[in-house]
Copies of this chain bind each other. A is one copy, B any other.
């Protein structure tokens, strides 16, 4: 595993649109994260506009810094796309028409019944001595160059094309380049506790230098564990990952909600669909976010039939049958109100499950005993009703989102 200390990467992002602030450079962040999770540290990142001289200087600096250089952007067909020229100048070679590439591009257009424009032809040129990298989603091939034991790639700037190319073609070559080692990464998604708590539960499993290596990232309450296994072949790496996943799942129990890119709403939706169960929502402080998250998933109509956003007390009373005297006694932000909202929603919608959420998202509305961030969430099914009290930190945005995700997690644990 010494490649980890030996192989470093540098990123070069090319494009005027980044330097004018019109585009946030998510490509660099994506590549940094991908490389980080496979144990290749990114040591520097450069952004330059579409100018040959600046591209050349950035490539020089990047190859000074690291053994692997990943450039993105500037491979389009228009006159301001100068990455090919920049690469040729940097390598001290000439651009040459690649007949095979031209042929591929012509059939790319042919399959779509489109005429290839003369402009596109420049995309079939590569610096002499470099190799094309397949682009499954667009016309611009990538470029791979080796120079003085360094590996340099150019990929398109369109994020979807870049990601596909990176995963399909660049990542395998990096593995090949890193001494024939196979690296497999699996992501376990967790919800329900903090990063430090998870780190404590994992203990020595998170030690640096282990194989597999466990990296941990956190975003909006979702904790992601990256299991990174290295072995001399794919099968062995796979086995290491599987064994480790089992250990992690044993330690973390139902804190693990999914794998890969799964969201809570997706996992909940899949479970509901599988068990042919339905759900309804009754929201106050989250104002529709829970319904939005559920319906973000294509096909949600299979299990989500309806929701209410009962922002005012009178709406809670008239739409969900919450009793006025209950609100008078306990307030609309109370365990009792959350419970009555869920109950009313389930009865009216005729669903298997219903969720009621009420709370204080702030910045105003707090009282002596009810702080900003206080949220009650109730999940009701035909067999039981569970209400939990939370005080979520931070601001209105975070409180609302965290409350909706927590509701999804509560329903997940019921399924």
Contacts and interface: CB of A to CB of B under 8 A. Distances in A.
Given A61-B61, A314-B305, A362-B298, A21 B31 contact: yes
A94 interface: no
B304 A291 contact: no
A362 B295 CA distance: 11
Nearest to A307: B309
A363 B298 CA distance: 7
List 10 tightest A-B contacts by C-beta distance, closest first.
A21-B33, A287-B295, A288-B291, A288-B288, A21-B32, A306-B315, A307-B309, A45-B47, A288-B292, A305-B312
Interface in A26-61: 26, 28-37, 41-49, 54, 57-58, 61
A312 to B, nearest CB: 4
Interface size range of chain A in the complex:
35 or more
A287 B292 contact: yes
Contacts of A288: 281, 283, 288-292, 295, 307, 309
A262 interface: no
Nearest to A219: B22
A129 B334 CA distance: 59
Interface of A: 11, 18-26, 28-37, 41-49, 54, 57-58, 61, 65, 217, 281, 283, 286-292, 294-296, 298-301, 304-312, 314-315, 318-319, 348-349, 362-364, 396-397, 400
A296 to B, nearest CB: 8
Nearest to A65: B54
A57 B45 CA distance: 12
Nearest to A314: B305
Contact of A311 (B29, B35, B286, B295): B295
Contacts of A304: 287, 311
B42 A28 contact: no
A46 B43 contact: no
16 contacts: A19-B32, A21-B33, A24-B29, A25-B25, A44-B58, A46-B47, A54-B65, A281-B288, A287-B307, A291-B291, A291-B309, A295-B311, A298-B362, A298-B363, A306-B319, A307-B309
A291 B287 contact: yes
A79 B21 CA distance: 32
B54 A43 contact: yes
A24 B26 contact: yes
A49 B46 CA distance: 12
Contact of A33 (B20, B26, B319): B20
A396 B301 CA distance: 14
